[in-house]
A and B are shown apart, each in its own frame.
Chain A
Amino acid sequence: MSKIDNNDLILFQRGELGEERKKLIENELRSDLKLQQELEVLIRADTAMENHFTNFQMPKDFQKEVKKKFKKEFNFSSFLNPKFILSYSSGIATACFMFVFIYTLDPFLQLQGQRNNDIVVRGGINKNLNKTTLPQEWIVNENLNFQMIKFKSLNEQGLFVKNNESLLEGDKVLLRLIPLKDLKVSFGIKNRENSSTIKNNFFLEKGKEISLPKAISPTENFFEVKGPSGKETFFIKDKNNQIIFDFTYFIN
């Protein structure tokens, strides 16, 4: 008992001792009978106290009152609290910034915006076409959005032509383009090994939809598919004569 006093035993009981001191007391307790008896008295006191606490459970009516205090109160006027406005306005500002940032990068979002926003200039699109007959699918790359649409007649629903799809000689097609940036381009066709240019030095304005052939030949609404049969590729080259987009189909 020389090294350990009652204060140590209290701290030991309460788990407030460091590891080293705790081990020392555990060792002493194994051999020191008087220390064991001291600890036993403290434990009996704990038991008596714990029994005493069972007399004081929280009454049910007060429990209800406490519960009420924890219920979240909705107060509409809190939205007008300057602190609250500050707390959400920064979040809204961040969200707007992120949207603008992603919008500038993501052609799908731009495309969606252009489809749904009448303010967007739709300069070259054939005015005779009923927009509702135009398909909604688009081919998208980093430079532009593209559609080849096949018509049997003006009154029919236009059909979206997929890459490597087959066309019949005599089919009428138009091409729709929405550039994602300002570009000076040339349009051309490659059939087998023969390339031909449709239009050189054509300026594509970012976000302004055009349709071909209308944009280059205002009296023409459609291209008519002609032979020779086989694989044909429509391509767009930039001002450095690099192909920035191509679209392949097969003529039967």
Chain B
Amino acid sequence: MSIREQDIIDIYPRIMAFAFSKTRDKQKAEDLVQTTILKALENKEQWSNVKNLSAWLITICRNKFLDSVKKSTEQQFTDTTDDTNLVSDNLSDDGEVKKIFEDCSQQLEANKKDVLFMSYIKGITTKEISDIIQKPQNTVLTWLANAKKQMIECIEG
């Protein structure tokens, strides 16, 4: 497929949101996403094999995050930290609503959270999400429905 500059600009906020949900640190999320995008853009020979840019980028991003978690001694990224100050520190200009949103999203189970954020990346289907996380599509749909409900209950609760 051909990849346009605008495609990358459009997709960036949603991949960032996904990365931020994983790292809970805006700077680390940016590093993760930007290295993902640069890696994708440098591998031009692979573009012809890419059927879905969103699915490709989110797969690279997720794999990079998982790699970093494996390198636990480096503690480059973390998915389990309870240090919620990171959120408020890095989103210092954000209001109360945003902090509530972040708190709520952190209460989701990791799998549900992944599915929730992936589902908002444009052009990606629930079938493609199920391929990425290697779970049945019905499981993805159930997790997604539950995650949305849980988020609203938490935010509005």
Q: Which A residues are closer than 8 A to B by beta carbons?
A: 6-7, 9-11, 14, 16, 41-42, 44-46, 48-59, 62-63, 65-67, 69-70
B151–A45 CB distance below 8 A: yes
Main secondary structure of the interface of B (DSSP, over half): helix
Chain B residues within an 8 Å CB radius of A54: 13
Given A58-B12, A66-B8, 20 extra CB contacts under 8 A: A6-B141, A7-B145, A10-B126, A10-B145, A16-B125, A44-B156, A45-B148, A45-B151, A46-B148, A51-B97, A51-B101, A53-B16, A55-B17, A56-B13, A56-B14, A56-B29, A57-B13, A58-B9, A58-B13, A59-B30
B126–A53 CB distance below 8 A: no
Closest to A14 in B: B126
B30–A67 CB distance below 8 A: no
Q: A16-B125, A41-B152 are in contact. Are A69 and B41 (CB under 8 A)?
A: yes
**B1 proximal to A (CB < 8 A):** no
Main secondary structure of the interface of A (DSSP, over half): helix
Q: List 13 A-B contacts (CB under 8 A).
A: A7-B138, A45-B147, A49-B120, A50-B120, A51-B101, A53-B120, A55-B98, A56-B13, A56-B16, A58-B8, A66-B8, A66-B37, A66-B41
For the A-B complex, the count of residue pairs with Cβ-Cβ distances under 8 Å equals 91
Chain A residues within an 8 Å CB radius of B148: 41-42, 45-46
**B78 proximal to A (CB < 8 A):** no
Say how far A56's CB is from chain B's closest CB, in angstroms. 4
**B67 proximal to A (CB < 8 A):** no
**Residue in contact with B34 in the complex, picked from A7, A9, A62, A70, CB distance below 8 Å:** A62
**Residue in contact with B144 in the complex, picked from A10, A69, A70, CB distance below 8 Å:** A10
Say how far A224's CB is from chain B's closest CB, in angstroms. 73
Query: Bound state CA distance, A46 and B155, in angstroms?
Result: 12
Closest to B3 in A: A70
Query: Bound state CA distance, A107 and B119, in angstroms?
Result: 67
**Residue in contact with A48 in the complex, picked from B37, B42, B155, CB distance below 8 Å:** B155
Q: Which B residues are closer than 8 A to A by beta carbons?
A: 4-5, 8-9, 12-14, 16-17, 20, 29-30, 34, 37-38, 41-42, 91, 94, 97-98, 101, 116, 119-120, 125-127, 138, 141-142, 144-145, 147-149, 151-152, 155-156
Chain A residues within an 8 Å CB radius of B30: 59, 62
Chain A residues within an 8 Å CB radius of B101: 48, 51-52
In this complex, the member of B38, B91, B98, B148 whose beta carbon has the largest number of chain A beta carbons within 10 angstroms is B148
**Residue in contact with A11 in the complex, picked from B14, B16, B91, B126, CB distance below 8 Å:** B126
Query: Bound state CA distance, A50 and B9, in angstroms?
Result: 16
Query: Bound state CA distance, A6 and B116, in angstroms?
Result: 14
**Residue in contact with A55 in the complex, picked from B38, B94, B149, CB distance below 8 Å:** B94
**Residue in contact with B5 in the complex, picked from A49, A57, A70, CB distance below 8 Å:** A70
Q: A59-B30, A67-B5 are in contact. Are A16 and B38 (CB under 8 A)?
A: no
Query: Bound state CA distance, A42 and B149, in angstroms?
Result: 7
Query: Bound state CA distance, A43 and B63, in angstroms?
Result: 30
Query: Bound state CA distance, A54 and B145, in angstroms?
Result: 23
B17–A56 CB distance below 8 A: yes
Q: A44-B152, A49-B120 are in contact. Are A63 and B9 (CB under 8 A)?
A: yes
Query: Bound state CA distance, A50 and B119, in angstroms?
Result: 12
Chain B residues within an 8 Å CB radius of A11: 126, 141
Chain B residues within an 8 Å CB radius of A70: 4-5, 41
Closest to A62 in B: B34
Chain B residues within an 8 Å CB radius of A50: 120
Chain B residues within an 8 Å CB radius of A10: 126, 141, 144-145
